[in-house]
A and B are shown apart, each in its own frame.
Chain A
Amino acid sequence: MRWKVVVGNLGAILKLFGFAFFVPVFPAIWYQEAPIFFGFLPYNALVFMFMASFTITLGYPAEKFGRPEDFYHNEAIVLVSFTWLILALLSALPFLMTQTLSSPVDAFFEAMSGMTTTGATVFSVENPASPLFLANQPKSVLLWRAVLQWFGGMGIIVLSVAILTKLTSGGLSLLSAESPGPTITRLRPKIKETAKTLWFLYSLFTLMLIILLLGARVSLYDAIYHSFTTLPTGGFSPHSNSIAHFSSIVQWIFIFFMIIAGMNFSLHYQAFEGNIRKVFKNTEFRAYLFIIITSTVIITFLISAAEIPLRDALFQAVSIMTTTGYTTAAFDAWPDILRMILLLLMFIGGSAGSTGGGMKVLRIVLIFKMVKRKIKEFAKPRRVMVVRMGDSVVDEDTLSTIAMFFCAYILLFVIGAFVMTALGLDMISAISASATSLGNVGPGLGMVASDFRAVRPAGRLFMALFMWIGRLEIFTAVVLFNPSLYKKRKLRNLLSFDFRKT
């Protein structure tokens, strides 16, 4: 581990990310948010402008002090893990400086929930009397949450690889450390081009959604806001009643785009290349659609006593499954069996290579195939079987990593549920809080159905860390907790280090 390399590259990323802070300046000026200085500059705009310049300036010495040069796999992972923590901390500052949130823990929670595209909030969604009532917050600060989700969705690291020339050589390690899913599909031979293509498609879909929403007579602010939170499967909305705020046609548009966002982006690339047939042949995509359709059918038709309209059933299923977290119905009041279905969908999540969270459909499909294989193997120990995804064989290394991921995920979920119960939530709320944070979904059940106000500060901090771990798919994040990283380099390590360098 060469910390200087990590810090150096972090500096380069900071310089890039700083520009994100400029976005909320526009609504602050447009809506002339009080208090106003010099007759036209709102205080909030100043805050974001300061944060932008601060972050960019911070990047310079970091880059200077460190060595922004090529790095190895372990350094790449630490860089990704660190970047997400540091950026979340920086992104939390505007909430404090604009005095919309007073507690640093809350601000960190909100920023982390935004960046990881979770969409859980500490603002009060239900209670209009509260000073923290969501709809009463300044538009610039609200938009900042959406901007965070948009950058976090496709990934700030992927963006950096696409833009910064320095990150080219270790790019693959970086991308696979940040991207959701067990493996990364190279869309183009060059990793930089792959990252560019991903961000291009992502931006294109965002733009398409903005135009469609404007066409459906949604205000410009709402259109941009919700496009920024739909494509990353984020789920933040400035409205207390989330998407129920909009007409049914708009809701259908959202359903469609949430499904798009929860798909593997390499499939979109194939579709753009004209290979629509290949998209529908993709095993993961089929499983993805199958799960959505089945759960919708169950919610609407099989549990007919609940009388849930098809659109609501589909919207909730898609929103939870893709880990977006929008709502159009108070699903917490649904019968237990339906809440159970939604809870299970939280674990499944979107497709690999999508912007969704959760364990990913691909992993779930492979886990089922592995279990099936083990059962067969148990009966016939001599039989040799390979696990296939579509026509290609999945190698055993990938499979065992997936199995370990599954175990780690469940283990963390259990720890989270336990801690949250210990911190005073009831069992269902604690379970759902743990699942929704780890899966980057947003809403939970019971006490955390609409916001996390009922959770104690310690719990909020803990859940924010869970979001971080969930977004980076566990292994990348927890690398930072590996003590061997911090050991002083011994002579032996020095030798091996030099050996590697040659």
Chain B
Amino acid sequence: MKVIIIGAGEVGRELSESIRRKGHDVIIVDKSEKACQKARALDVKVVKGNGARPELLNSLDIKGSDYFFTVTDDNEVNLVACSMAKSAGCKTMARINGLEYISKQVSQRFNQIGVDYAVSPELLIARKISDIITVPFAINRNISMGGKINVTEFKVLPNSRIRNKKIGAIRLPKNINIGAIIRENEVIIPRGSDVVKEDDTLIVMTENRKAEKKMLKLLGTKRSSVDRVMIVGATSIGINVAKKLDNRGVEVKIIDESEENARRAAEELKDIEVLVGDARDKNILIEEGILRMDALASMTPSEEHNALVSLLAKVYGVEKTVAVVQELGVKSLIETIGIDLAASPQLQTANTMMRLARELNPLKAIPVHGGDLYILEMEVNEDSPVTGKTISQSKLPPESVVGAIIRGEKTIIPRGDEKFKAGDQVLAFVLKEEINAVEDLF
């Protein structure tokens, strides 16, 4: 298929790379020479110019294109370009910057002006951060199957009950399933004989919050909820996260250097403590109770600032720290220096757009851990090879695990003797190499 992307920033480049990987043709347009240069390093066609100019779009043959993404940081360009592409018959998606125009992470409110999906980076990242923060020790959290299943990464702590135990010997509660183990950057699809070790990251599928809490007990944490969170940076993301956490009953403090930002936050956030101060100052942090915080999320516009504050929080024993990063390049760097999550609005936007573009992506596959592992969502048909067989009978490749089955309204965390029935929705963890093999069975 043919895809046009307007905007060769972080989002555009990330998006074009994952689309190209699926074997589609990508044209990427940006008016800045610098961005174009970066994009040229990728295996895509790069065009320099304003993506909202009709002449330029015509020269790109938009009529013959299937998908059209606009991901510049200029809403005007995004909307105008989309609306032109729509009238040429493309499927369109636009990034909407700022929270003035959009109130949902993904909105279809802009259909009338030719945008099939409008995506808000700020809201996406706010949602992700608040989801991760509310589960202690969870590092990454995805919600699949329309919110019915949580997929969460947990770290195994030294005092965990399941440490040094074989997977087969762990008596897991009924609604929990371990999908994968990540050990020293290697993904292992566990079998009964594999042993869980300290510092492993487990990718766990749980049915609900209660199940998540049970999992936390197994992992050896005393607390089963996050009660106090400090948010650094009263940016629109910061304010949004504070609202979401407050709604879940978390005690939130939000701090910003600028009096103006703080005042705006105080106006928007009822009953939440808003402070003026530099969070890089350890005296301020201590006075404002950093020692009692369960988590800290730093969301200022500067990623150095965010990284520094998160590190400082780690020093004072905050168990979970999240830093917002703008540049994807530093994401893994920041995560290696001990910060639990470097959250990137850009990456989140690219991933979400990718998921929304179903035809580019016939398999519903959610990449986990940098794309080594995928969560596949599949449906069992009448004539699927697995229909009527139990999981153990169905010759699934060894590098895959059936994590959950959704049958009507019921969610089943299956054991080996569970039978597949037609109409089941299946959620499976599969290593990248085995995706096709698994897909053939359904």
A interface with B by C-beta (< 8 Å): 380, 382-386, 388, 391, 393
Contacts and interface: CB of A to CB of B under 8 A. Distances in A.
Interface string B260-282: 00110111001001111100000
B270 A388 contact: yes
A386 B267 contact: yes
Contacts of B273: 380, 383
Given A382-B284, A383-B275, A391-B270, 9 more contacts: A380-B273, A382-B255, A382-B275, A383-B274, A384-B276, A385-B266, A386-B263, A388-B270, A393-B267
A133 to B, nearest CB: 58
The 5 A-B residue pairs with the shortest CB-CB distance, nearest first, are A384-B262, A382-B275, A386-B266, A384-B274, A393-B267
B335 interface: no
B434 interface: no
Interface in B4-24: none
B284 A384 contact: no
A61 B280 CA distance: 72
A380 B265 CA distance: 17
Nearest to A381: B276
Interface of B: 255, 259, 262-263, 265-267, 270, 273-277, 284, 288
Contacts of A384: 259, 262-263, 265-266, 274-276
Contacts of A393: 267
A390 to B, nearest CB: 11
- Between A382, A385, A388, A391, the greatest number of chain B beta carbons within 10 A of the residue's beta carbon is seen for A382
Contact of A382 (B266, B267, B270, B288): B288
Contacts of A388: 270
17 contacts: A380-B273, A380-B275, A382-B277, A382-B284, A383-B273, A383-B274, A383-B276, A384-B262, A384-B263, A384-B266, A384-B275, A384-B276, A385-B274, A386-B263, A386-B266, A388-B270, A393-B267
A375 to B, nearest CB: 15
B242 to A, nearest CB: 13
Contacts of A386: 263, 266-267
A393 B265 CA distance: 12
- Between A382, A384, A386, A388, the greatest number of chain B beta carbons within 10 A of the residue's beta carbon is seen for A384
A391 B269 CA distance: 11
B246 to A, nearest CB: 15
Contacts of B262: 384
Contacts of A382: 255, 275-277, 284, 288
B265 to A, nearest CB: 8
A383 B266 CA distance: 9
Nearest to A392: B267
A374 to B, nearest CB: 15
A385 B270 CA distance: 9
Nearest to B267: A393
Contacts of B263: 384, 386
Contacts of B270: 388, 391
B253 to A, nearest CB: 9
A96 B274 CA distance: 63
A120 B270 CA distance: 45
B9 to A, nearest CB: 33
Contacts of B259: 384
B17 to A, nearest CB: 42
Nearest to B284: A382
A354 to B, nearest CB: 27
A393 B264 CA distance: 10
Contacts of B274: 383-385
Contacts of A383: 273-276
A394 to B, nearest CB: 10
A136 to B, nearest CB: 60
Nearest to B270: A388
Contacts of B288: 382
Nearest to A385: B266
B275 to A, nearest CB: 4
Nearest to A391: B270
A386 B260 CA distance: 12
Nearest to A395: B267
Contacts of A385: 266, 274
A384 B288 CA distance: 13
B183 to A, nearest CB: 44
A428 B255 CA distance: 51
A349 B262 CA distance: 35
Nearest to B260: A384
Nearest to B234: A384
A388 B266 CA distance: 10
A382 B273 CA distance: 10
A330 B402 CA distance: 86
A388 B272 CA distance: 13
A388 B275 CA distance: 17
B184 to A, nearest CB: 43
B232 to A, nearest CB: 13
Nearest to B261: A384
A393 B267 CA distance: 6
B257 to A, nearest CB: 11
Contacts of B276: 382-384
Contacts of B266: 384-386
A493 to B, nearest CB: 35
B125 to A, nearest CB: 24
Nearest to B253: A383
A388 B267 CA distance: 8
A380 B273 CA distance: 10
B254 to A, nearest CB: 9
Contacts of B267: 386, 393
A430 B281 CA distance: 57
A389 to B, nearest CB: 12
A388 B268 CA distance: 11
A382 B270 CA distance: 17
B230 to A, nearest CB: 13
